[in-house]
Amino acid sequence: PPPFTGVWMGDRKVCAIGVHCGHHITSHGLALNCCPDLSWFQHIVPCGLAGMGVTSLSQELGHPVPVEQVLVPFLQAFQEVFHCTLLCSDELG
């Protein structure tokens, strides 16, 4: 829910998005919860958001969703949305 970043399913975060700037370097990334052990999130305040939950694709869909199943469709969608071409590190030589 606004103004929180990431991808939410109701009041549960399924994907975290982050940007860090420091020492003239910008880092960014995302974490899509496919099939993690969600019990570990009971020991922390995820993303510093007290009272909000964490979920995964596996939990929401009711069956295991391994990263390998999500990776290719995710990368294809990323390229479409951001009008770019992604390269694997193997392709960079």
Q: For residue 12, list its beta bridge partners.
A: 9, 53
Helix/strand/coil percent split, the chain, to 5: 35, 25, 40
Among 12-16, 33-37, 46-50, 75-79, where is mean pLDDT lowest? 46-50
Cβ atoms within 10 Å of 34's Cβ, excluding its own = 19
Measured between alpha carbons, how far is residue 28 from residues 20, 25, 31, 43 in Å?
6, 10, 11, 25
**Model confidence pLDDT, tens digit, residues 75-86:** 999 999 999 999
**Model confidence pLDDT, tens digit, residues 22-32:** 999 999 898 99
The residues annotated as belonging to the active site are 47
